[in-house]
Structure formats: structure tokens, C-alpha cells
Chain A
Amino acid sequence: MSKQTAVEAQLKNLIEENKKREHKYGLYQAILLDIFFVFYSILVVQRAIYYKFFLDLRDLPFSWIQIIIVFFISVIAGTLWALTRTSLSCKLFGVAKDNKTTKWTIELFGWFLFDITFIAGWIVTKISIVSLFSPDGLKGAGRLFSALFHPQFGIFDDALFAMIETIYIALVATLISIPPTLIISFFTARNLMRENKVTFAIYYVLRIILNFIRSIEPLIWAIIFSVWVGIGPFAGMIALLVHTIASNAKLYSEAIESIESGPMEAISATGANKIQIVWHAVVPQIVLPFLSFTIYRWDINVRMATVIGLVGGGGIGTMLMQYQGLARWREVGLIILMIAFVVWIMDYISAKIREAIY
């Protein structure tokens, strides 16, 4: 009995210590966040609301000294504020005092942050009801829409070939992406890589690289590659390929992370080596999700390929860009109609295939 109470006391101690540590940690985080809140509020109020709206300046004055001064003010104000334990951040990190002042500051400052953000957003995006409903603008839009709804079928065969080119760009990009994605995905699956430090380092570095590649839109990749390999379908294909590998590797590795660990345990208990475990216990569990992701990605790539064409990635997008440049809206109408049709068909087919394989 005494042994048990001793253990309990020890546990209690541990929990207390943990709480204290967490509390301290939470306060540090609250200070940092409060500094950011103050810094953000001052800058938004000064630059977006005061300069842009009240003074209506075209070019905002910019000086590092001013920014640094604002920063110092917010460091002092934010720190002091957080130390009173009544700020919004203190509440967010669970270190706030539970009294009326806290309640009031949170409510007031919360609304203040939301309001200035919304107002600044309104000013920055230059929202203007007037130009949305100006008669000139409406007339132009009407002309354009009526042209779009009377497509010019004279260029149908050209558009069809361009469309086929787009579908092939997407298909080839998807197909080529499969082997590298497969290999990479195993190295970016946490459950396979966490065992020792070296593999975990590889996992980490690969994840960062993939995140970076994925965060750059295929459109930007297309611009990069059209400079690299020249404007045309090839540039578009590589752009899609790069982005497909990066995004599907993430999906694939998540599928690997969500497999049942039981079969892996069972196979490893038979004395199989690492490659055999992956091949016989991991691969059979992920074949279907992989197939499904890949087919879905083809569908996405067809849509993206049309956009990529706009910046010189070949296919229907490039054609659309040319006719748009010539302001031949009836041709543009036909092309848009065809894109919509193909995207719809692809969407349907890929959904059906994915349904069938499960």
C-alpha cells in the first residue's frame, strides 16, 4: 500500500512539473504572438487605412527605420501586455488570468483585429461597386458573353487537335510521374522512416523539398520550363510532371502511413528483410489508393494543362490565348465550350474508374 502511495506521489509531482513547464512555454508563445498582434495592428492601421484610404497615397512611403521603430514599440507593448496575463494570446495558449479584464480585452481586441483586417482587405482589393455596374462595362461584358454563346465552329478541327494534345500532355505527365513518385513516397512515409536517425533525416529533407516544389504552382513551373526547354507542349508536360510528383508523393506517402501495421509486424516476424517487408506487406495495401490517386491526378492534370497552355505550355490553352489576344470571342467561346466538355467527361470517367477498382 505504501509503495502505491509513493508511486502516486511521484506521478503527481511529475504532472505538476509538466504543468509548470507548459505554463512557462505557453507564456513565451503568448508574448511572441502578442508582439505580432501589436506589430500587425499598427502597420495595418497606419499603412492600409491611414495612408491609402485617408491620405489616398498612390505610392506608400517606405522606410526601414520606421518599420524597426514600430517593431520595437510592439516588442515592448506586446511583452508588457502578455505579462499582465490578460491578452488575447494568453487566452489562446491557456495562461490567461480568469477575470473580467481578460474577458473584455479579448472581446474588444478580437473584434478590433477582425475589423481592421476586413477594412484593409477591402481597401487593398480596391472593391468598387461602381465599376461593377457601370453601363460601359456592362455593355462590353454583354458583347463578350453573347459572342461566347455563339461559338464559331470553323476552327473545330484545329481545336480538336489542340485538345487531344492537351489530354496527351496530361496523360504523359501522369504516366512518367508514377515510378519516381512511388520510390519517393516510401522515403517520405513517416512509419517506414522513423526507426533510425539517418532515415529520419532523409525523410525530413525530402519532405521539405517536396513541400517547396508543391508550393510553386504548375503555372509558374511552366514559365520556368518554357524558358528552359522552349515554349511548347514539352515545357507544359515537364511542368505538370514536376508538380504531379511532388503532390502525389505526399498523397502516396500518406496512404503508406495509414496502412495497417499488423501485416508488417507479421511479415517482419518471419525473418523477412526490409525490402521484402515493404513488397509483401506494404505494397499490397497501397496498390488501390495509389491507382485511385493517379487516375484522379490525370483528371486534374487535364484541367491544369489547359491553364498551363496560357503561358506557352502547348495544347488548347495556347490556342485559347492566341484567339483571346486577337479578341476573336466566338472562337474563344468554342474553345471554352470544348474545355468544359472534356473536363466534364474526364471527371466522370475518372470517378467511374475509381469506383470500379475499390
Chain B
Amino acid sequence: MLLKVQNLHKIYKSGTHALKGVSFEVEEGEFLVVIGLSGSGKSTLLRCINRLIEPTSGLVEFNGKDITHINGEELRKVKMQIGMVFQQFNLIKRKSVLSNVISGKLGSLKTFESILEKYNDKVYNEAYRCLETVGISDKAKVRADALSGGQQQRVAIARSLMQNPKLLLADEPVASLDPATSNSVMQYFEKINKELGTTVICNLHFLSLVRRYATRVIALRAGEVIYEGSPRDIDENWFKTIYGEEAEEVEIR
């Protein structure tokens, strides 16, 4: 078992109770998709796993180790093993694609070395290899903000690959992309999951994408897990429970 989340609660300072006792487990090699409405706690859940947000109570166990309360160097070591891809890509816009990808490696580089930005060939080669994995190595020298949305997201994926992650978290990675690009970006996640064996936890909106890529699904509503199982089993009824009575399924190909 790679990840175990147990009875996780998160209450924000504003009083919002975003997670109300979420529990689930993730095996190595899974492609787990988390679905639910906006505000159902999906993003909070992902961020609690790699501790970008501090959970209020509960337990997060990564690779057999309790990481809920670790700090400093120990936490950085864990973060280095967990890659993350965001909805807004979160690249450094003014920097080249290559240096954006290399920034995924920062955790294992010496501070001094990373400030001078003089890396050895091994790091460069690795960065090119990661860019090749997402099929964008020809853009290495281009400024990140000169790329299209889909390309930027692929760079962000390459950046997380630079970490050699055991676990890859993706927070609505295709929510700001058009349908066609969405599919191509999702295919890279699938490739990473199948070829590199990286475990993926991904927040998604579109059920058609969920059915196509997920090996398992968790549905959140108002901070609680209301469904856990195979993507095939989400029928009309479940859909209405997850997304509300008025929701209608939208196809995306």
C-alpha cells in the first residue's frame, strides 16, 4: 500500500469544514480519480496529502510512514517523492521550459548550486528525457508563457517527472484546457501510470474522462466520501447523487 488516508478532517480558519473524515487507501500503480462538485473538498484533499495544507486531524500514511506531523527536512524528503500538477500549470512564466522542468529537481540539488543555476550534464539530460516523455523536447529553450495551455501543462508534468515521483497528484489538470487538449494531456498521465508505474491521484470534472482513465474512483460531496469503486459502476443514479438532481452528463471525447 502506497498511501493511506484515515479519518482526515480539515477546518479552515474561516470555519469552512472542507473535509469531514475522509478515509481511503491507494495501492501502488493505481490511477485513482477523485470526482465531485467544486467546493466538495477535492483540492483540499490532494493538498493535505503532500502537506501543502495542514490537515486539522486524521492520518496520512505514505509508503508505510506516518507523514501527518513531520516537518522540515523530513517533510521535504517526502515532498520530493510526490509530484504535483495544478489546474493553472503554475510555471514560472518568464523562464525557459528547460529551467522550469529543472526546478522539479530543486529538492535534491544543493541550495548554492541551484541559485547559480549551473547544473551538471546529468540534470540537463534528465530534463530533456522528461520533456521527451511528454513529447515537447523541441520547445526546451522557449519561454514558458509562449506555449499554449496544453503545452504548458505538459511542461508542468515534465517538471513533476523530474522528481521521479512515487506518487503523482493532479489537481484538475485539464479544467482550464479545451476538450481535445484535455484528452491528449490525460493520455500523458496514462502513459506515466502504465509505462513508469507511477501511482496517480487525479481530480477530474468530466465523467467521460474518468471512465476512460481511472482504475478506481472516489466521489466527494461536502467533504465526505460518498462513493468508492470502479468507474464503470457510476450509473445515472450515482451521478445524480454526486452532482445533484439538476446535473446532466456532458460528453467529452
Contact = CB atoms under 8 A, between A and B. Distances in A.
Interface in B67-103: 76-84, 86, 88-95, 103
B88 A262 contact: yes
A271 B80 contact: yes
Nearest to A14: B15
B159 A276 contact: no
B107 interface: yes
12 contacts: A262-B89, A265-B52, A267-B106, A269-B52, A269-B82, A271-B76, A276-B109, A276-B111, A279-B114, A281-B92, A284-B95, A285-B92
Interface of A: 260, 262-263, 265-273, 275-276, 279-281, 284-285, 287-288
Interface string B42-62: 000000001010000000000
Interface centre among B82, B103, B115, by most chain A C-beta atoms within 10 angstroms, is B103
Contacts of A262: 86, 88-90
B176 to A, nearest CB: 12
Given A265-B86, A271-B80, A280 B104 contact: no
A269 B91 contact: no
Contacts of B160: 270
A272 B106 contact: yes
Interface size class of B (residues with CB under 8 A): 35 or more
Nearest to B81: A271
Contacts of B76: 271-273
Given A272-B106, A287-B94, A280 B80 contact: no
Given A280-B114, A281-B92, A271 B84 contact: no
B91 A270 contact: no
A272 B109 CA distance: 9
A280 B106 contact: yes
B182 interface: no
Interface of B: 50, 52, 76-84, 86, 88-95, 103-109, 111, 114-115, 156, 159-160, 162-163
Nearest to A261: B90
B88 A270 contact: no
Nearest to B84: A269
B90 A270 contact: no
Contacts of A266: 84, 86, 90-91, 156, 159
Contact of A280 (B88, B89, B103, B108): B103
Nearest to A275: B111
Contacts of A271: 76-81, 106-108, 163
A267 B115 CA distance: 14
Contacts of A268: 52, 79
B159 A263 contact: no
B183 to A, nearest CB: 23
A196 to B, nearest CB: 11
A174 B89 CA distance: 37
Contacts of A265: 52, 86, 90
Q: Which residue among A265, A270, A288 has the maximum number of chain B CB atoms within 10 Å of its CB? A: A270
Nearest to B106: A272
A286 B148 CA distance: 23
Nearest to B115: A279
Given A279-B115, A280-B92, A284-B95, 19 more contacts: A262-B88, A262-B90, A263-B90, A267-B103, A270-B83, A270-B103, A270-B104, A270-B105, A270-B106, A271-B78, A271-B79, A272-B76, A272-B103, A272-B106, A276-B106, A276-B111, A285-B92, A285-B93, A287-B94
Contacts of B107: 270-273
